[in-house]
Amino acid sequence: MKLTSKIFNSHPSTDGDFFLGIKSILGFKPKNIEIYKTAFLHRSMNKKDKKGNPVNYERLEFLGDSMLGTIISKYLYNEVPEGDEGYLTKMRSKVVSRKHLNELGKDLGLLKYVESRIPKEHFGENIYGNVFEALVGAIYLDRGYNYCEKFIDERVIEPYVDIEQLEGKVISYKSLVIEWCQKEKKPFHYNVYEDTGNDELKHFAVKLTIGDRMLAKARATSKKKAEEKASKRAYFALQSRIDNN
């Protein structure tokens, strides 16, 4: 079988299959299935509307991001009446973090519906969260705010949002490590370099030095991920000293 026949470039075999799959994910019937098809349409397909405007999931992703933030904000506002603006903003950031949205997209199995000319294995992790947000945007356009809120409540808030757990969830280990180094007046340095090796995708390696000691190193497909991974390892190596400050 040729590679082109294997790549991730089609919806399920029929519109009926796609409709049933989306209905199962949503928990209710879509009205305009074409909106949902757009939510899974990657820009690599180079689709355009009658006016020549690009058609892909990115505009729906923008809309879904706004809707998700609004609905999560409303939930936190009602759920934590004692929380001030700073607290509520921090908690919302944890709920709608890219890592969390990627996990949601994976759990819902969204990638199998994506229409693209790019092979599945070439997608980065963020495709999951991007498509999840596009799906939220599609729900809003198709069924309005109440259905959008219902979906987020059932698929995000009820299964994933635990206020007490979120209060202790770390968003960025790099921020924690840097804050500690600055407080303790310890010099630190992230030495980042390309380290592709035998991998098809470009990789970056990072060595984190604190003081005169190389404390952690890591590899990932982006500089940011590599730095965060190394920071996490450094954090656990220093946890007793960081947590006692």
Sequence ranges of the binding site = 61, 130, 133
CA separation for the pair 72, 139 (Å, rounded): 16
Cα angle 129, 19, 39; round to 5: 30
CA separation for the pair 14, 68 (Å, rounded): 30
Sign of CA dihedral 65, 68, 71, 73: negative
Residue 54 — φ and ψ, nearest 5°?
Answer: -60, 140
List the catalytic residue out of 15, 34, 65, 103.
Answer: 65
58 catalytic, yes or no? Answer: no
Nearest to residue 213, comparing CAs of 241, 194, 175? Answer: 241
CA separation for the pair 224, 217 (Å, rounded): 13
Nearest to residue 124, comparing CAs of 22, 19, 220? Answer: 220
Binding residues for Mg(2+): 61, 130, 133
133 catalytic, yes or no? Answer: yes
CA separation for the pair 141, 151 (Å, rounded): 13
Nearest to residue 135, comparing CAs of 159, 146, 119, 151? Answer: 151
- Provide the annotated active-site residues: 65, 133
